Structure 1
Amino acid sequence: MEMSFRNNRHLLLLYFLCLLLLTLAASEDSSAIISRFQHYLRINTAHPSPKYHDAVDFILSQAKSLSLESQILEFVKDKPVLLLKWPGKNPNLPSILLNSHTDVVPAEHSKWTHPPFDAVLDHTNGHIYARGSQDMKSVGLQYLEAIRKLKKAGFGPDRTVYISFVPDEEVGGHDGAEKFADSEVFKEMNVGIVLDEGLASPDENYRVFFGERCPWWLKIKATGAPGHGAKLYDNTAMENLLKSIESVRRFRASQFDLVKAGLKAEGEVISVNMAFLKAGTPSPTGFVMNLQPSEAEAGFDIRVPPTADEASLERRIAEEWAPVSRNMSFELGQFKQKVSVHDKFGKPILTAVDSSNPWWNLLEEAVKNANGKLGKPEIFPASTDARYFRLRGLPAIGFSPMANTPILLHDHNEFLNKDEYIKGIDIYESIIKAYASFVEHTRIEEGSRDEL
C-alpha cells in the first residue's frame, strides 16, 4: 500500500507539473499576442498623414511568420492595399475575404488619460488604451491570430482565405476598398463572403450588421447683401442660414424621437448632425462685429439607411433646407459621399440573415460553438467599407467580437480589454474554420452570382 501511495503521489505531482507548464505556456502565448497587438496600435496611421507603409511592413512580418502569400496593391500612390492569401485545397470554391482598414481617426492627445499611440496596458483593469483599439486594428490582428491558432492545430482550409488591409476607410474608402472592389484582382479572387467591422457591445451579446447607412455630406450656403451690424433687414445670409438650420433641427428631432421611443433602431432612421458653421468677416483680433456677412455656410453629416426614400430626402434638401427663394444653394458633390443604399433595381442593399444565406447560419453556429452570443442583426448606424462589396452583390457581414465593452470608436480614451481581445481571437478561429470548411451550396452561390 505504501508503494501504491508513492506512485499515486508521483502521478499527482507530475499532473500538477504538467498543468503548471501548460499554464506558463498559455501565459507566454497571451503575452506575445498582446505584445503584437500593442505594436500595431503604436503605428500612427491617423489622418491626415497615416504611416501606411509602416503598418504594411509590420503586417507583412506577421504574414511571413504564418507562411501566408502576400501582395501589395497601390491603386493610389502611397495608399497601399495589402492582400494576404491562405490557399484552400479546392481553389474552385468561392473564397472568403476578411477585410479591415489600417487607418484611424485623429485623436486630441490632451483629452486622453494615456497617450493615444502608446497602447498602454493598464494592469489594474486590463484595458489597452489606444486609438484604433476598437476601430479597427483589433479585428485585423485577430484575423491573423486566429489563423495562427488554426495552423498550429494543423487545420487546412478547403476554401481560399484572403485577408485584406485597406487604407482610407475613415475618409470614405474611395482610394482603398472602393478601388480594390472595382479591380481585376478582386474579380479573380472569386469572393463568396466578406467579413468586415462591426461595433462594440455594452452587454454580453455580440453585435452583428447586415446593412448600413450611407453618408451624404451636405454643405448649405446662404448669401445676402452685407450690412451694418445694427441694421435690421430681411434675407440676410445669417438669417436665412439660421432658418435652414432650424428646419434641419426639427427633422433631426423627429427622427431621434423614433429612436428614443424604441420604435426604430439607430440604424433605421436618417440622422443629421451639423459638422461645421462658417460665417463672419475675420479681423486681426477675431471677427468684425459691426458687419453682417454676405455669405454663411453650414456642413451636415447625414446618414441614410437602406430603407429610406432617397429622392424624397433630396427634395427636402432642395425645397425646405436650401430653397433658391431664400438665396440658398447646396452642394452634394464632393460633400456627398454618395454610395447609393439601393441596387440598380431600386432594392435596399442588405445581406440576408435567414436560412437563405448559408453564411449567416454558419456564423451563428460558429459563434455559439465558441461560447459567444449574437444579438439581433442590425443596420450599421454609420458606414463601413462593406458597402463596396455589397454593391457588387456579395454578402457582407459586419462583426467585431467586443462584448461587455463601451462603444468608444472616435472617442477619447478608446480602449479594448486584453481578455476580450483574446476571446475575440477564439471567436474568429471558430468562424474561419466553419467558413473555410464549408463546401455545400456552391451551385446556389454560383447561380446567384450569375443573376447579379
Structure 2
Amino acid sequence: MASHIVETLLVLSVIIFLQLQTTKGEEEGDTPIGRFQQYLRFKTAHPNPNYTAPVSFLVHQAQSIGLTTRTLEYVKGKPVLVVTWLGSKPQLPSILLNSHLDSVPAEADKWIHPPFSAHRTLDGGGLIYARGAQDDKCIGVQYLESIRNLKSTGFLPIRTLHISYVPDEEIGGFDGMAKFAASSDFRDLNVGFALDEGQANPGDEFRVFFADRTPWELVITARGVPGHGAKLYDNGAMENLMKSVELISRFRETQFDFVKAGKAANSEVISVNPVYLKAGTPSNTGFVMNMQPSEAEAGYDLRLPPMDDPHLIKKRIAEEWAPSIRNMTYTIKEKGKLRDHLGRPIMTATNGSNPWWSVFKQAVEATGGKLAKPEILASTTDARYIRTLGIPLLGFSPMINTPILLHDHNEFLKDTVFLKGIQVYESVISALSSFEGVSAQMI
C-alpha cells in the first residue's frame, strides 16, 4: 500500500513538473508575452548595457517571420539594428518605427521583484515587472508581434516598413540615433513618416507627442575677492551668484505660474531647475567658515519648447543671469536643436496640413481607441534627430489605464495593455504602409 502511494506521488510529481516546464516554455518564447519577457531580461541598463544579446534575439525574431535585418555600427560596441519589410512600391517614401535598446539603471533593493526578472503576477492582474517595460522595450516587441500577425493574414504593405533599434537613447543618443540619422544609411531608407516612443496614460486616451523639449546644460560661475568671513565685500563671488540664483528663481516662478493657472502645459514652458551649487574653501572638517571664497558655481537644467526663440533666452542669460559686469561667466551645452535644417521649429503638424496625421488618427480610432490632445514631450527622445531632418514623426506608446513609471522603481506593464498595443500597431502599420497619398518626403 505504501509503495503504491509513493508510486502515485511520483507520477503526480512528474506530471506537475512537466506542466511547469510547459508553462515556462510558453512564457519563455512561445507567446507574445513570453517574447516580451525574454527581451526584458536582457540587462541593457547603463552604465554597462549589454547590446549583443538583445540584438541577436531581435534578429532571430525578425528573421523567423521573414523580415530582413542589417546591423550597423557607428561607434564600436554600439549597434544599430534595422529590420525591413519590403513594400510592393519601394520607390515610395518608407515608414520607420523606432525604439531604443538601452534602459536606465534600476536599484534592485527598491523593487518588489528583481528588475530584470520580468516577473509576471498571475494573481495580481498580470503585471509584468521589469526595467524597460514601459520605456521602451514594449514597443520594440509590439512592432514585431503586430507584423507577425499581419503577415499571418496575408497582408502585403505598399510602402516599405523599417524598424530601428538604437543604443544609448537614455544618455542622449549621441552614439546611436544622432549618428544613424546623419548617415547615408539613413538617407537610403527614404523615410517619409516615423513613429517613436511616447508615454503611458493613467486615463483611457492614448497620448501622442508632436515635439520634444530641447535640453540645455547651463553652468554659471561667479568670481570675486576672497577674504575674511566678517568683512563686507562688494561683488563677492557668493553675493553675485546668489543674485543670479534669485533672478533665475523669479523667472522659473513666472513660467510655473502659467502651468498652475492652466494656461500652459508643463511641457509648453521653459523649465529652469537648479541641479548643483559649488562654492566654499574645503577644510578637514568641511569648509573654512571664516573665509569668503573667490569662486562660486551653479548648474541648471533647462528645457526649451520648440516654439521658443533660443536667441532670447541666451540674451537673458548674458544680460541678466550671468552678466560680465558682475564678474560672471557661463557655459551652455545645447543637447539638441530647436530649429530644423530650414529654420523651422522642430515639431510635427497634427492637423490637416499633415496627411499622415489623419491616417494615424483614424487607424487608432479603428481599434476603438481615442487619442488625447497632442502634446509636447516634457523630456527628450531620439525623435528630435529625425524631426530635425524635416521628417514628420509622432511619439506614441499605446499604454492606457497605466501609471507613468518610466525611470521609476517597480516599473511594470499589464499584460492585457501590452496585447492591446499589438492590436493597435496592427491597425496603424497596415494603414500607414497602405497610404499612397504622399509620394515624396514632406520637407
Q: Which secondary structure state, in structure 2, belongs to the residue aligned with residue 199 of structure 1? A: coil
Matched, 1:421 2:431: no
Q: Does the C-alpha gap of structure 1 residues 344 and 392 become closer, same or farther in structure 2, counting only changes over 3 Å?
A: closer
Q: Does the C-alpha gap of structure 1 residues 292 and 58 become closer, same or farther in structure 2, counting only changes over 3 Å?
A: farther
What is the match of residue 79 of structure 1? 78
What is the match of residue 259 of structure 1? 259
Cα shift at 1:35: 2.0
What is the match of residue 334 of structure 2? 336
Cα-to-partner distance string for 1:244-302 (whole Å, 9 max, x where unaligned): 22221111111111111110112211111122233334445544444433322222111
CA contact (8 A) 1:221 1:295 kept: yes
Distance, in Å, in 2 between the alignment partners of 1:114 and 1:316 is 47
Q: Does the C-alpha gap of structure 1 residues 118 and 225 become closer, same or farther in structure 2, counting only changes over 3 Å?
A: farther
Q: Does the C-alpha gap of structure 1 residues 267 and 234 become closer, same or farther in structure 2, counting only changes over 3 Å?
A: same
1:195-210 matched pairs, under 5 angstroms: 195-210=195-210
What is the match of residue 36 of structure 1? 35
Q: Which secondary structure state, in structure 2, belongs to the residue aligned with residue 374 of structure 1? A: coil
CA contact (8 A) 1:119 1:129 kept: yes
Q: Does the C-alpha gap of structure 1 residues 286 and 368 become closer, same or farther in structure 2, counting only changes over 3 Å?
A: same
1:306-385 matched pairs, under 5 angstroms: 306-332=306-332, 335-337=333-335, 339-385=336-382
Q: Which amino acid aligns with 2:82?
A: L
Cα shift at 1:29: 11
Cα shift at 1:232: 4.1
Cα shift at 1:129: 2.1
Q: How many residue pairs end up in the alignment? A: 418
What is the match of residue 275 of structure 2? 275
Distance, in Å, in 2 between the alignment partners of 1:358 and 1:283 is 65
Q: Does the C-alpha gap of structure 1 residues 253 and 67 become closer, same or farther in structure 2, counting only changes over 3 Å?
A: same
Q: Which amino acid aligns with 2:334?
A: K
Q: Does the C-alpha gap of structure 1 residues 224 and 390 become closer, same or farther in structure 2, counting only changes over 3 Å?
A: same
Q: Does the C-alpha gap of structure 1 residues 393 and 64 become closer, same or farther in structure 2, counting only changes over 3 Å?
A: same
Q: Which amino acid aligns with 2:106?
A: A
Q: Does the C-alpha gap of structure 1 residues 437 and 326 become closer, same or farther in structure 2, counting only changes over 3 Å?
A: same
What is the match of residue 402 of structure 1? 399
What TM-score does the superposition give when structure 2 sets the normalisation length?
Answer: 0.89
Cα shift at 1:80: 1.0
Q: 1:433 aligns with which of 421, 430, 435?
A: 430
Cα shift at 1:322: 1.3
What is the match of residue 219 of structure 2? 219
What is the match of residue 15 of structure 2? none
Distance, in Å, in 1 between the alignment partners of 2:193 and 2:187 is 13
Cα shift at 1:377: 1.1
Distance, in Å, in 1 between the alignment partners of 2:54 and 2:231 is 57
Distance, in Å, in 2 between the alignment partners of 1:149 and 1:241 is 60
CA contact (8 A) 2:350 2:357 kept: yes
Q: Which amino acid aligns with 1:38?
A: Q
What is the match of residue 106 of structure 1? 105
Cα shift at 1:86: 0.9
Q: Which amino acid aligns with 2:65?
A: L
Cα-to-partner distance string for 1:60-117 (whole Å, 9 max, x where unaligned): 2222222211111111111111111111111111111001111112233333333322
What is the match of residue 50 of structure 1? 49
Distance, in Å, in 2 between the alignment partners of 1:204 and 1:291 is 58
CA contact (8 A) 1:30 1:422 kept: no
Query: Structure 1 residues 315-324 or 282-291, which shifts more?
Result: 282-291
Distance, in Å, in 2 between the alignment partners of 1:109 and 1:273 is 28
CA contact (8 A) 2:340 2:387 kept: no
Q: Which amino acid aligns with 1:200?
A: A
1:123-272 matched pairs, under 5 angstroms: 123=122, 124-272=124-272
Q: Does the C-alpha gap of structure 1 residues 255 and 364 become closer, same or farther in structure 2, counting only changes over 3 Å?
A: same
What is the match of residue 15 of structure 1? none
Q: Which secondary structure state, in structure 2, belongs to the residue aligned with residue 47 of structure 1? A: coil
Cα shift at 1:193: 0.4
Cα shift at 1:231: 4.4
Cα-to-partner distance string for 1:122-154 (whole Å, 9 max, x where unaligned): 331322222211111111111111111112222
CA contact (8 A) 2:27 2:33 kept: no
Distance, in Å, in 1 between the alignment partners of 2:154 and 2:283 is 69
Q: Does the C-alpha gap of structure 1 residues 153 and 281 become closer, same or farther in structure 2, counting only changes over 3 Å?
A: farther
Query: Structure 1 residues 111-120 or 65-74, which shifts more?
Result: 111-120
Distance, in Å, in 2 between the alignment partners of 1:353 and 1:141 is 26
What is the match of residue 118 of structure 1? 117
Q: Does the C-alpha gap of structure 1 residues 116 and 328 become closer, same or farther in structure 2, counting only changes over 3 Å?
A: farther
Q: Which amino acid aligns with 2:193?
A: I
What TM-score does the superposition give when structure 1 sets the normalisation length?
Answer: 0.87
Q: Which secondary structure state, in structure 2, belongs to the residue aligned with residue 198 of structure 1? A: coil
Unmatched runs of 5 consecutive residues or more in structure 2: 1-22
Q: Which amino acid aligns with 2:364?
A: V
Distance, in Å, in 1 between the alignment partners of 2:436 and 2:372 is 27
CA contact (8 A) 2:278 2:296 kept: yes
Q: Which amino acid aligns with 1:325?
A: I
CA contact (8 A) 1:266 1:381 kept: yes
Cα-to-partner distance string for 1:358-402 (whole Å, 9 max, x where unaligned): 211111111111121101111121111111111111111111111
Cα shift at 1:212: 1.8
Q: Which secondary structure state, in structure 2, belongs to the residue aligned with residue 55 of structure 1? A: helix
Provide the alpha-carbon RMSD of the alignment. Answer: 2.2
Unmatched runs of 5 consecutive residues or more in structure 1: 1-23
Q: Which secondary structure state, in structure 1, belongs to the residue aligned with residue 432 of structure 2? A: helix
